[in-house]
Structure 1
Amino acid sequence: MIVTRTSYNTVPPKVVYSLTPYGSRLHQFLVEMTKLGEELAPHLAKAGAPIEFDYHYQEMIHH
């Protein structure tokens, strides 16, 4: 398993996804993919694709 999902019984609902120890081996790859996505987002948005990020790769690096 690469990602775990923890669901909290709250209002509003809260769900947290995190990398497993095995998944953490992919951390740097995921950071690089996120950086690429952020770089491409303006070009995709100009083409009409809806783009939204809830995080930035700088935050991922510190986890």
Structure 2
Amino acid sequence: MSAGALTWRKASRSTNNGGNCVELASFAETVAVRDSKDPEGARLLVERAAFAALLVEVKSGTTG
């Protein structure tokens, strides 16, 4: 997977002043996650359903 093949998105509340951010991109049935400070670095691929479940937990505050 090349970085140019994906459309990366940063959270709308992120700023462009070098904050600690992750970027997401849709890729088939997965969500690709990368560090915005290292766009050519490692990427984490997470199944879409697992990522959706993680977001539910984060929003509800049940992650620990």
Query: Looking at both structures, which has the greater relative contact order when contacts are Cα pairs under 8 Å and sequence separation is at least 6?
Result: 1
- More strand by percentage: 2
- More helix by percentage: 1
Q: TM-score range by the shorter chain?
A: 0.3 to 0.5
Provide the TM-score with structure 1 as the length reference: 0.34
Provide the TM-score with structure 2 as the length reference: 0.33
Question: Which structure has the larger Rg?
Answer: 1
